[in-house]
Structure 1
Amino acid sequence: MTDWRIGHGYDLHRLSAGQGLCVGGVFIACEHAVVAHSDGDVALHALCDALLGAVALGDIGQHFPDSDARWADADSRSFLREVRRLIGEAGYAPGNVDLSVIAQVPRLAPHIDAMRARIAEDLALDIDRVSVKATTKEGVDAVGEKRAISAHAVVLVARAQRAD
């Protein structure tokens, strides 16, 4: 029997006036910025939590705490690659990724394919195993009022095949 595990992750960051933000490993030039210790990529942070959770390795805050100056302004793609290494050490590999990014701003649809490509590259997955979707909050709550951006991630991981 294959050892499959599912993980779920969530992240939310406040928005401020700025010149752009990173989502799904892609920089999007816009009139907003994320308030965060690292680059504040909500999609990759949620994805890291989902992967870590699937293998019971804690969460992103344990591995990359915002109290550690090393992670100030860090590229969240480096977090994702390190998480992939950690789950690999635990004997697992990602099978597929399903991400939902919730944002009133910026408009994400034109960037979805680039996000999928970056995530697939960082997780060594075929692009057809990475889904990224975007939706709005129809003006409701902090996200809908353009004061925040959030993301949910679901992943399936499997025990890595061993060459015997």
Structure 2
Amino acid sequence: MSVALPLAGGCQCGALRYELSAPPLMLYACHCTNCQKQTGGAFVLSTGIVENALAFTQGEPARFEWVSDAGNQRYGLFCGACGGRIANGQTPSIGVLSLRAGTFDNTSWVRPAAHIWVKSAQSWVRFQDDDLLYDEQPTDYAPIVERFRSYTGFNA
């Protein structure tokens, strides 16, 4: 897999653009009820990234705060014009953001390494036999990071 840095992306209307200067750490599908409400879908594809590797190159993101299913204080960064969600973070910062994988300009490499919060997954969602599945928030992300690196070639 050959994906060059920086990775660029943005919102649906193009008013908010970003660049990612370091490779993603991992990519997973989150089935929590918060992600379902935010997207209006069954899950969201999130890319774990180093927070300071994300730079907005056009526009300023709007911000929304809530408490996650795990009880953490979270915030979302989104386009104030079209409402497109770009990333989520945690307060206090843990140095990692969840960047929406569908916002990358090039999504040819996007594939989840795991599924989290599967206890909230819609009943019709089917998983593969070899999928990494977590009922809730993982306590150890190393297996997800390792699997992601094994099929993308990205190294942090």
TM-score (norm 1): 0.31
Structure with the larger RCO, 1 or 2 (CA within 8 Å, 6+ apart): 1
When Rg is computed on C-alpha atoms for both structures, the one with the higher figure is 1
Normalized per residue, the structure richer in helix is 1
TM-score (norm 2): 0.32
